[in-house]
A and B are shown apart, each in its own frame.
Chain A
Amino acid sequence: MAEESGDFVIRVRNLVNAFGSQVIHDGVDLDVKRGEVIGIVGGSGTGKSVMLRTVVGLNRPVSGSIEVLGRDVLHLNDEERHKLEAHWGVLFQDGALFSSLTVAQNIEVPLKEDLKLPQRLMAEIAATKIGMVGLPAEAADKFPAQLSGGMRKRAGLARALALDPDILFLDEPTAGLDPIAAAAFDQLIKDLQSSLGLTVFLVTHDLDSLFAICDRVAVLVDKQIRVGTLEEHLRDDHPWIHSYFHGPRGRAAQPAGTH
């Protein structure tokens, strides 16, 4: 696609976010390459989720510019915005499934919105996505309240994937899952990412996820962002970053041999 500047699908420049007098981000730059998995980490209240919400346009920054797939997210008319939104899928923390709809109907929502597909084909697409995220076929007719937390996240992922987006935004996908389910979810994202060629923007607290699936990691510290590979962060001597990656949990999560 020619409209993209270089091979970056997301370009954030000089982003400033503030709530009242409290500044969250102060001049943040971030580039995300096509097809990579970027992890966003940071302490509580450093604005990881705010970052995600700003990039997808749910939160209006004080200043700065954001380009997604070569388009300026902050200055789009409704039609352009709608077009762009078909290129990304968002998974919110607890799945954010519509509680009055079944799982299959949830997945059909984005399909119904834009495309005039026959009902049977929509049901088939929903069933395909349900299979792809590793849910049993019976889950299609269940309501979100009847699912466990892990299944709700998978269903939310299926809905985010409904239109086969280029970019997948994940907000703490493994939070609240048991370690086995979390590892399975990491593997699922990795599989889907490589087979669908997704770019993944992953906000997480989970060190295991970082080591398992992220190509690069962006750390939010001191209202700024530091982007690099895990090896680079492991060498970083910023006190927070050091204690994050070299604390007991950080060390435990590192695969053997990276010390």
Chain B
Amino acid sequence: MAPAASILASEEGGATVFRAEGEWLVVTAAELDRRLHDLRMPQDRQVTVDLTGVNRLDSTGAWLLLRTEHELAARGNQVALENLQPRFAPLLEQVRARGISEPLPHPVPPHHTFVGFLARIGMITLLLLNRVYDILGFTGLVTVTLLRLLRQPRRLRLVATLVQMERVGLDAMPIVGLLSFLIGVVMAYQGADQLRRFGAEIYTVNLLGISILRELGVLLSAIIIAGRSGSAFTAQIGTMQVNEEIDALRTLGLDPVEVLVLPRLLGLGLTLPLLVFYADFMGILGGALMSWLVLDINIPNFLTQLQSAVTTTTLWVGVVKAPFFAAIIALVGCYEGLNVTRSAESVGRLTTQSVVESIFFVIVTDAAFSIVFSMLKV
């Protein structure tokens, strides 16, 4: 049976009597709240709240009683709570002593107003500019540390660097290879479909060669690595930050940039160009296979056409971007990791942010490269 509670008003000898009955609990609070609202509150009278019938009481029930008492008193009534069962007295006193506070009005979130909206846009803009400025500063710091390393090559953490090369390079080969291969397949299929209308199927090979070597291979690898390793950098360094490991390094006289950032930067810088070359190869392979299957261009013919379409410059134009993209991914990933505050929640937030930022900067840099290359006419 569901617990029941009620409150009734009556007039007895010039005084108003409220009779509270039943189980004044959080489960009956909604019902009680409604009944209390329906109750007509007297003005400037003697009011007795008779609690004889209250057989269960919890702190929510106690709050409702005290709220009623408070409201009655505010209307100039003389209020008395009577006949409370003694076992509930400590609870009522506890709530009266510490719990009786009106909830504060919730402040309206500022971004719900128009001015607030504009302020938010301004704030986000400033925040972004600030972030770019900070990342540039961090790049400077890392560069200085790198130069110091060149003067004292003994300080290079060789094992850590090799471990990073394995993790970001070797371990990424299956996924980078598979995705590049599939993109090659898709490109060949889509390209062939369009070019066939002009009887120019053979130019599918040119399309494949140029787009994969110049753009897709490097962009695809960079985006996969940003998602796979950039996020890992932020999460690893961020977790160390949460555990105060970074502070521990500093107190041991070790430079976190030298110990943590440089191995990641060098590891990624050395392996991403290799990964790009591998991605190019797999992409072309996928394209060649598809051309053979749907266009009947066999492998020797494919290679001959490819040789006439691309030069080694085409390959280099793609691969040369790789170290730059690697630097962006490693720097943003490590920077955001070091930015983590001592809460676990910020690790997750900054990891997401690091991936978004590094992909953003990679694509912006790629666009800048296109402009430079077109001016250089390569």
Contacts and interface: CB of A to CB of B under 8 A. Distances in A.
Contacts of B94: 132, 191-192, 195-196
Nearest to A102: B106
B26 A127 contact: no
Interface string B218-232: 000000000000000
Interface stretch (B59-67, B77-85, B135-143, B236-244): B59-67
A127 B93 CA distance: 16
A115 B60 CA distance: 13
B90 interface: yes
A129 B99 contact: yes
Interface residues of B, number: 28
Given A115-B30, A164-B58, A191-B94, A140 B103 contact: yes
A162 to B, nearest CB: 8
B345 A194 contact: no
B101 interface: yes
Interface string A151-174: 000000000011110000000000
B90 A195 contact: yes
Contact of A127 (B25, B58, B91, B102): B102
A128 B106 contact: no
Nearest to B66: A128
Interface string A70-107: 00000000000000000000000000000100001000
Interface in A89-146: 99, 104, 111, 114-118, 120-121, 123-132, 134, 137-138, 140-141, 145
A132 B98 contact: yes
A127 B100 CA distance: 8
Contact of A126 (B87, B103, B345): B103
A115 B103 contact: no
Interface in B99-142: 99-104, 106-107
Contacts of A104: 103
B29 A128 contact: no
A38 to B, nearest CB: 21
A195 B30 contact: no
A154 to B, nearest CB: 11
B33 interface: yes
Contact of A124 (B87, B103, B106): B103
Contact of A118 (B26, B33, B59, B107): B33
Of A104, A131, A138, most buried by chain B (CB within 10 Å of CB) is A131
B63 A116 contact: no
A141 B137 CA distance: 36
Given A115-B26, A141-B107, A163-B26, A128 B343 contact: no
Contacts of B59: 128-129, 132, 161, 164, 196
Contacts of A126: 103
A117 B30 contact: yes
Contacts of A191: 94
A236 to B, nearest CB: 34
B202 interface: no
B98 A164 contact: no
25 contacts: A99-B345, A115-B26, A116-B30, A117-B29, A117-B30, A117-B33, A124-B63, A124-B102, A124-B103, A125-B60, A126-B103, A127-B102, A128-B60, A129-B59, A129-B99, A132-B99, A137-B101, A137-B104, A140-B103, A140-B104, A141-B104, A161-B59, A195-B93, A196-B58, A196-B59
Contacts of B106: 123, 141
